[in-house]
Amino acid sequence: MSTTAPATSRRRLGLLVIAAAQFMVIMDTSIIGVALPKMQADLGFSPEGLSWVFNAYVVAFGGLLLLGGRLADLFGARRLFGIGWVVLLVGSVLAGAAGTAAWELAGRAVQGAGAALIAPAALTLLMMLFGSDPKELTKALALYGAAAPAGGTAGVFLGGVITEYLSWPWVFYLNVPIALLILAVIPTVMPAGGQRRGSVDALGAITVTAGLALAVYGIVRAPEAGWSAPETLLALGAAIVLLAAFVAIQARRREPLVRLGIFRTPNLAAANIAQLLLGAAWIPMWFFLNLYLQQVLGYTAFPSGAALLPMTIVIMIGMIALAPRLIGRFGPKALTVSGLVLLAAGMGWLALVRADGSFWVDVLPASIVAALGMSLAFIPTLGTALSAARPEEGGLASGIVNTSYQVGSALGLAAITALATMQGADALGDPVRLTGGYSAAFVGAAVIALAGAVLAAVTLRSARPAAERTEPADAAR
């Protein structure tokens, strides 16, 4: 009893640190929103260049995730987790102290690189702490998953408060004390070990990182530059060549960055496709719902953030309280399909928004349905993607699932933005045309979610609910 209680407390504290990591990684994407106008004035950003304060982080994060997962497997998740926080701390200081636009973007890219080391290592550590108990693992994944929307919403509020009452550099300096605190507790609460002998596939790492970075660059740039612009075609063409070269390299290497055979593992590929489509549907919906609240209903930043709070609360309750119980009763496949169908229904309802609408009628009920669907689909697909892999490939599995969600988010946002723009989403000052564009975006996101439900129903294999299992499905992120 005396040894079990401290061990349990240590695991819980470790889970809180892992959830905090997820919270911070997502918060760093949203906290800059309100600060952007002041950053533009102080650093001399052009209107086009300003968007790269966000994109520099996303490109580095998405491009380096697979490498981060591999490094966690080779050198140990705890060590990589700590290194990631050091890198994030350095990037935060650079971004906060930047006196020019170039230094600001460099700092944001370093932050993204740190997040790419933290994210796969965090899930690996979570699996090391809870992977031997499927019931506890589901609960741990639920808290981990709920930290993401909480971080997104907190970023909107904190960014506004810090920018108004302090100054914009403090949206970055906020990371410093948190990083120092986490670095101080890592040796106490995180399990050691997990490392193994092997080599880093440098050529594979370069080709996949450059390929994913160029793909994300081309996708996020396309709505502004044009899908047929030479810049876009060159970036996407080079990305295809590099990613094809990466696959060829992996097929020939004795110790590849990504063992291609991992995708033959039952349910791993299917769960990653579901995560990709979930990100491709959810992020555009969240993005355009923000725009509808501010540009059509006339909300300022703080009321807009408050309007998203009910949706965030539903997601957290769904992930922490509902999803683990329903997975135990019905299994991950049924919950994934049901969640994606519910998400599509909520987005279809949001597509009925009106130019003279209101939050209570046009936004609140539909957003709650969509949020509930998101919360029910996210946990089983994440858990399936992680637990399908071998324990020694936990970092790789977590890197793949993170990459799937991030690349899906970028692809979905770019495609839905192009669709919405064609339907009037760029007609600032014209509420009717803006609403038509946003409605089209919600329809497009609903179609993606529905496609995800169909694919999950066809490709995911049914499994016994976690509560009925006697043997754990172990893995690591």
Q: Can you give the CATH number for the domain in which 290 is found?
A: 1.20.1250.20
185 with 38, same domain: the answer is yes
68 with 211, same domain: the answer is no
> In sequence order, which residues have a C-beta less than 8 Å from that of residue 299 and are 6 or more positions away?
293, 307, 359
Residue type at 334 in one-letter notation: A
Nearest-angstrom CA–CA distance, 280 and 288: 13
13 with 145, same domain: the answer is yes
190 with 205, same domain: the answer is no
67 with 145, same domain: the answer is yes
178 with 321, same domain: the answer is no
322 with 239, same domain: the answer is no
Structure tokens at 111: 């932050």
Query: What's residue 433's pLDDT?
Result: 92
pLDDT one digit per residue (tens) for the chain, 477 residues: 444 555 678 888 899 999 988 888 888 877 776 677 778 888 887 755 676 787 788 778 877 888 888 888 888 889 999 999 999 999 999 999 998 989 999 999 999 999 999 988 998 898 888 877 878 888 888 888 888 777 877 777 777 778 777 888 998 999 999 999 999 999 988 887 665 666 677 788 888 888 877 887 787 777 778 888 999 899 999 999 999 999 999 888 877 877 888 888 888 889 999 999 998 998 888 878 877 887 889 887 667 767 878 888 898 888 888 888 898 888 999 999 999 999 999 999 999 999 999 999 999 999 999 999 999 999 899 888 887 777 767 777 877 887 788 778 777 877 888 788 888 887 878 899 999 999 999 999 999 999 999 999 999 987 554 444 433 333 333
Q: Taking Cα atoms as reference points, which of 141, 200, 182 lies closest to residue 475?
A: 141
Query: What's residue 387's pLDDT?
Result: 79
178 with 205, same domain: the answer is no
Residue type at 348 in one-letter notation: G
Count of domains in the chain? 3
136 with 239, same domain: the answer is no
Nearest-angstrom CA–CA distance, 254 and 344: 43
What is the DSSP-derived secondary structure letter of residue 295? I
Counts for the chain of helices (H) and strands (E), in that order = 19, 0
Domain-terminating residue out of 256, 277, 292: 256
Is residue 125 within 8 A of residue 18, CB to CB? The reply is: yes
Nearest-angstrom CA–CA distance, 354 and 343: 20
Handedness of CA 110, 396, 276, 463 (dihedral sign): negative
Domain-terminating residue out of 156, 177, 194: 194
Nearest-angstrom CA–CA distance, 379 and 376: 6
Structure tokens at 466: 């976690």
Provide the residue range defining the domain that includes 406: 265-477
Three-state secondary structure along 397-408? Answer: HHHHHHHHHHHH
403 with 452, same domain: the answer is yes
168 with 282, same domain: the answer is no
Structure tokens at 131: 């992977």
Nearest-angstrom CA–CA distance, 19 and 51: 28
SS3 of 388, please? Answer: coil
Nearest-angstrom CA–CA distance, 82 and 76: 10
Domain-terminating residue out of 152, 179, 194: 194
CA distances from residue 283 to 191, 208, 445 in whole angstroms, order as listed = 33, 24, 9
294 with 245, same domain: the answer is no
Q: What global pTM score does this model have? A: 0.80
Nearest-angstrom CA–CA distance, 157 and 14: 26
> In sequence order, which residues have a C-beta less than 8 Å from that of residue 269 and are 6 or more positions away?
263, 459
Nearest-angstrom CA–CA distance, 274 and 385: 10
Nearest-angstrom CA–CA distance, 193 and 158: 36
Helix, strand, coil percentages, rounded to 5, for the chain: 80, 0, 20
Residue in the block written with tokens 């396309």: 222
